[in-house]
A and B are shown apart, each in its own frame.
Chain A
């Protein structure tokens, strides 16, 4: 793996783009399957091999991006696979499964094409800030190029056929990752999420399906994939996210007006802990960084840049730490290594 290039943060964590104080990233994912093959759940090992080879070859042929890097996940070790999960380039499911499977990564990590995940093909576009339209354009481009070379399993009635009926139709999953500390602190998230669910959207944790929210990060995504156009699906998510952004801003403003001192105290304490801790878990790091991130974005703390905060979010994850150290480290040692790394990044 090309370490020097990939030790930096991917495009999506650059903290740029519209509304980037609240919207971390915009992510789109398409599920596609190749006609004439079984879905992975029933495919033989030989079929999986053939699908893997066929798709990797055609991704290369399609020339979707110049700088694609291909990982054969069957031969990549567990730390490297977790590292790709932490960077949101592959799903935990793909990392932990077995058999022939791959991922092709390109365009500053904003594009990743997973082969043999739950479906034969999963195209993901991940960009920083609130930029769903741009992401859609990029994803359609890739999908169109591939669909000329590969026969997708498609039905005029049900659209793109997927292994799970929750993805059938457009096969599109739109997720916006939000940083909502103020709503969380004032215990108003439940209310917001109830409204989100009413709109047929789902709220998930940082690493998607079945994961817990940490560091006040939440993903809002669509659930319906059939019977609506891609445009409609994106519009729904977009309008709901706009409302959530508005609420988060309102609460942040109210916090500054009504309880500036305790807000500042929270931000600065978090910074102090990060700067001095000798042992720190991944969860605690996320929580503290979340407070600091909000403090930076609200202009309450100038000691640290948003780039450094964003970088710490990703570099303090277990696989990133171990890759940096170049070896496997057990949890206790890891917490000390993490604390040392954070101190060194915050001292200069």
Chain B
């Protein structure tokens, strides 16, 4: 098959373009025309991730221009790099990030381990969250002995 743009060279790249109305359009191109068309044959993992993240976000929401006061990152920059600039970005871009996290992670509340040097009260609260999850898991697996143990531990932690 010949390239659909130059109609001279052999087509080596197949581009699947998604149109605005959601339909797919397939184009066959040679290496050179593909490059000009904006199809890069070699892409980095970060770029790919950035694009995937971009595609997950759908329509741009408000706040794309906001800058993090700490690291200067904008949400647009995050979308193309796939990396955040500093811990504070999670709060600064919360409105844009939460929907993304929900999609890729399925949850928005951390229930795992907490750092050893975290305040005692906070640590206890997180521990209760974590044990609660384990309790649900134990019940779903019909491990009732383990579930009873967990229930008691949670009770004790709450009373402390």
Residues of A within 8 A of B (CB): 33, 35, 37-39, 41-42, 118, 140, 143-144, 147-148, 151-166, 168-170, 172, 200, 209-210, 223-232, 235
Bound: A163/B90 CA distance, A: 10
Contact of B90 among A151, A161, A166, A170 (CB under 8 A): A161
Contact, CB under 8 Å: B81 / A41: yes
Contact, CB under 8 Å: A42 / B106: no
Which candidate, B8-16, B20-28, B69-77, is the interface stretch facing chain A?
B69-77
Bound: A229/B86 CA distance, A: 24
Residues of B within 8 A of A (CB): 45, 49, 53, 70-73, 81-87, 90-91, 97, 100-101, 104-118, 122, 125-126, 130, 133-134, 137
Contact, CB under 8 Å: A157 / B110: yes
Contact, CB under 8 Å: A168 / B101: yes
Question: Which residue of B72, B82, B100, B125 has the most chain A CB atoms within 10 A of its CB atom?
Answer: B82
Q: Which residues of A contact B71 (CB under 8 A)?
A: 38-39, 42
Contact, CB under 8 Å: B105 / A226: yes
Contact, CB under 8 Å: A140 / B87: no
Bound: A143/B91 CA distance, A: 25
Contact of A39 among B72, B85, B91, B100 (CB under 8 A): B85
Contact, CB under 8 Å: B85 / A41: yes
Bound: A170/B72 CA distance, A: 26
How close is A267's CB to chain B, nearest CB, in angstroms? 36
Contact, CB under 8 Å: B112 / A228: yes
Contact, CB under 8 Å: A159 / B83: no
Contact, CB under 8 Å: A228 / B107: yes
Bound: A7/B153 CA distance, A: 48
Q: Show 12 A/B contacts (Cβ-Cβ < 8 Å), sorted by A.
A: A41-B81, A42-B73, A148-B116, A153-B87, A157-B109, A158-B108, A158-B110, A159-B112, A160-B115, A164-B83, A166-B104, A227-B108
How close is B141's CB to chain A, nearest CB, in angstroms? 9
Given A224-B105, A229-B134, decide whether A38 and B86 contact each other with a Cβ distance below 8 A.
yes
Complex: chain A residue closest to B131, CB-CB: A229
Bound: A312/B25 CA distance, A: 48
Q: Which residues of B contact A235 (CB under 8 A)?
A: 137
Given A38-B85, A164-B49, A224-B106, decide whether A170 and B113 contact each other with a Cβ distance below 8 A.
yes
Q: Is the interface of B mostly helix, strand, loop or mixed?
A: loop
How close is B13's CB to chain A, nearest CB, in angstroms? 20
Contact, CB under 8 Å: A147 / B87: no
Contact of A227 among B82, B85, B105, B116 (CB under 8 A): B105
Contact, CB under 8 Å: A152 / B104: no
User: Inter-chain contact count A-B, CB under 8 Å?
Assistant: 129
Given A147-B117, A161-B90, A232-B133, decide whether A41 and B83 contact each other with a Cβ distance below 8 A.
yes
How close is B79's CB to chain A, nearest CB, in angstroms? 11
Contact, CB under 8 Å: B126 / A170: no
Contact, CB under 8 Å: B84 / A200: no
Given A140-B113, A157-B109, A164-B83, decide whether A231 and B137 contact each other with a Cβ distance below 8 A.
yes
Question: Which residue of A37, A140, A152 has the most chain B CB atoms within 10 A of its CB atom?
Answer: A152
Contact, CB under 8 Å: B115 / A147: yes
Complex: chain A residue closest to B82, CB-CB: A164
Q: Which residues of A contact B100 (CB under 8 A)?
A: 165
Given A156-B126, A168-B90, decide whether A226 and B110 contact each other with a Cβ distance below 8 A.
yes
Bound: A88/B104 CA distance, A: 27
Given A165-B101, A200-B106, A226-B108, decide whether A144 and B116 contact each other with a Cβ distance below 8 A.
yes
**Additional pairs, 6, CB under 8 Å, beyond known A151-B117, A226-B109, A228-B133:** A38-B71, A41-B83, A164-B83, A165-B101, A224-B107, A232-B133
How close is B87's CB to chain A, nearest CB, in angstroms? 4
Contact, CB under 8 Å: B70 / A38: yes
Bound: A3/B47 CA distance, A: 37
Contact of B122 among A35, A38, A140, A156 (CB under 8 A): A156
Q: Which residues of B contact A151 (CB under 8 A)?
A: 115, 117
Contact, CB under 8 Å: B134 / A231: yes
Contact, CB under 8 Å: B137 / A232: yes
Q: Which residues of A contact B53 (CB under 8 A)?
A: 165
Contact, CB under 8 Å: B85 / A159: no
The 7 closest A-B pairs by CB, nearest first: A227-B107, A159-B110, A42-B85, A170-B112, A153-B87, A226-B105, A41-B83
Question: Which residue of B85, B105, B118 has the most chain A CB atoms within 10 A of its CB atom?
Answer: B105
How close is A105's CB to chain B, nearest CB, in angstroms? 24
Contact, CB under 8 Å: A35 / B110: no
Bound: A41/B87 CA distance, A: 12
Complex: chain B residue closest to A33, CB-CB: B87
Bound: A159/B97 CA distance, A: 14
Q: Which residues of B contact A161 (CB under 8 A)?
A: 87, 90
Bound: A39/B82 CA distance, A: 12
